[in-house]
Amino acid sequence: MKVSLLTGGSDRPYAFGLLNTLVARDIEIDFIGSDEFKPSEVLIDPKVNFLNLRGDTNPAAPRRQKIARIGRYYFRLLQYTVKSDSILFHILWANRFVLLDRILMNLCYKLMGKKIVFTAHNVNERQRDGCDSVYNRLTLRAFYALVDHIFVHTHMMKMQLIDDFGIRESKISVIPFGINNTLPKTDLTGWEARSRLGLRKEDKVLLFFGRVASYKGLEYAIEALHRLVEKDHHLRLVVAGRIEKGCENYWNSIESAIEQYGLGQHVVKKIEFIPDEEVEVFFKSADVLILPYKAIFQSGLQFLAYSFGLPVIATDIGSFREDIVEGKTGMVCRPEDADDLADKIHAYFHSDLFDNLQQARSEIMEYGNRKYSWEEVGHITCAVYEQLLSKAGLNQAGQEL
């Protein structure tokens, strides 16, 4: 069996996690990537062929350079589609060129006899971000109609595809969000990690990690911190990640709130892209990850936290309640409610979970590896691949039946 993985040129942890599990099942892979992926990381097996069609993805590049490289990418992708003997095209992330990525390219794939599989990490990202439109929904509907099978990570996402986009149930499979097991991990200790961030051993460290965007509810974390620091001056909030494009005003409002509440000494800001090799510094220095989101189905950050044995406090939206074992792997609070978030943070730092955090970290890692196993992802994924090949009149080796 041969599969083309179209990564969109990003999300290394998910792409590598899936790559590893497919290679372990003796599948031949054409890995379509970008400069973000190093050949030495991708070429883990003779069955893997790395094609860097996307090239440079630097967002700071001049506009003319961006246009040229995008044109080259789609030209190369079309050339590859015509020449490739791969029947299965598995899209992990679509790029942001709606008409091209959702409709025109997929029409080309279909015309060339390809079977298209798509992993929908977000069913309707623009609805989540508060910028949905008729055009967005129409192109999404066309896209979901064109692909042959869709993977989602929760049953709520499956129901949204059925209810909002008219997708038949048999075309959708729910798979776990495979736990992030590809990030570099060293023997760095928690204390050493804290010292790198200017944190003290006695600090109680909350971590807000990832791109800063309005739907993530950082303002509620700031308000909750404001309510708590008067009684507990050891509390620290680490905010790490770059600002999402278009959310600059939102971040300005966050900084204004930090200044207004006099929280400067309680907030550590690392507002920049965090490279893979530095991620462990933040997760090893923290006592808990907070996800005060206003809208989302599921967050990969929760499983990244579990991979480091870090508990999570998240809002009761999407599948967070299903994915958090209350008092064992974290806590759940009401969405858009700073008071309840503050109560849960206070409760956490007075809980057995926090008091026995060293032992709990090992248990959380074991729980995450068991429940969000790439082995299960691979099992479901390969079953879908085989079903699609069977419908196309091919066996696993890609030969005519």
Q: Provide DSSP, 232-291.
A: -TTEEEEEESPBPTT-HHHHHHHHHHHHHTT-GGGEEEE-S---HHHHHHHHHH-SEEEE
**Same structural domain, 145 and 227:** no
Beta strand 312-315 pairing with 330-333: parallel
**Same structural domain, 205 and 172:** no
For residue 392, the SS3 value is: coil
b/e map of 205-221 (b: 16 or more CB within 10 Å)? bbbbbbebbbbbbbbbb
Find the Cα–Cα–Cα–Cα dihedral 11, 17, 19, 23, rounded to 10°. 170
**Same structural domain, 22 and 164:** yes
- Does a structural domain hold residue 96? yes
> Which pLDDT belongs to residue 189?
96
Can you give the C-alpha Rg of the chain in angstroms?
22
What are the E-state strand segments in 182-234?
Answer: 204-209
For residue 176, count other CB atoms closer than 10 A to its CB. Answer: 18
- Does a structural domain hold residue 321? yes
The answer to whether 369 and 179 have CB atoms below 8 angstroms apart is: yes
Q: How far apart are CA 43 and CA 320, in angstroms?
A: 35
Give the burial class of 3: count Cβ atoms within 10 A of its Cβ; 0-12 exposed, 13-18 middle, 19 or more buried.
buried
Per-position pLDDT tens, the chain of length 401: 999 999 987 788 899 999 999 999 999 999 999 988 888 888 888 999 999 998 888 877 898 898 899 999 999 999 999 999 999 999 999 877 889 999 999 999 999 999 999 999 999 988 888 888 999 999 999 999 999 999 999 999 999 999 999 999 999 999 999 888 778 899 999 999 999 999 999 999 999 999 999 999 999 999 999 999 999 999 999 999 999 989 999 999 999 999 999 999 999 999 999 999 999 999 999 999 999 999 888 898 999 999 999 999 999 998 899 999 999 999 999 999 999 999 999 999 999 999 999 999 999 999 999 999 999 999 999 999 999 999 877 654 444 43
**Same structural domain, 95 and 26:** yes
Q: How far apart are CA 154 and CA 173, in angstroms?
A: 9
Spatial CA neighbour of 207 closest among 183, 229, 237: 237
**Same structural domain, 216 and 351:** yes
* Amino acid in the structure at residue 104: L
The answer to whether 15 and 34 have CB atoms below 8 angstroms apart is: no
- Does a structural domain hold residue 183? no
Give the number of domains in the chain.
2
- Does a structural domain hold residue 57? yes
- Going across the sheet that includes 28-32, the strands are 48-51, 28-32, 2-6, 88-91, 115-119, 149-152, 172-174
Q: What pTM does this model have?
A: 0.84
- Does a structural domain hold residue 287? yes
For residue 174, the SS3 value is: strand
The DSSP secondary-structure symbol of 27 reads -
The answer to whether 221 and 305 have CB atoms below 8 angstroms apart is: no
> Which pLDDT belongs to residue 395?
53
Beta strand 204-209 pairing with 28-32: unpaired
- Does a structural domain hold residue 270? yes
**Same structural domain, 154 and 8:** yes
The CATH number covering residue 6 comes to: 3.40.50.2000
Residues 6+ apart with CB under 8 A from 362: 309
- Does a structural domain hold residue 397? no
> Which pLDDT belongs to residue 96?
76
Domain span holding position 6: 2-178+373-391
What are 44's two structure tokens? 């883990």
**Same structural domain, 208 and 123:** no
**Same structural domain, 116 and 56:** yes
**Same structural domain, 359 and 382:** no
Handedness of CA 247, 249, 252, 253 (dihedral sign): negative
**Same structural domain, 261 and 158:** no
Angle subtended by helix axes 300-307 and 12-23, to nearest 10: 70
**Same structural domain, 21 and 161:** yes
- Does a structural domain hold residue 246? yes
Phi–psi pair at 224, nearest 5 degrees: -65, -40
For residue 299, the SS3 value is: coil
Q: How far apart are CA 121 and CA 104, in angstroms?
A: 21
> Which pLDDT belongs to residue 293?
97
**Same structural domain, 161 and 203:** no
> Which pLDDT belongs to residue 214?
95
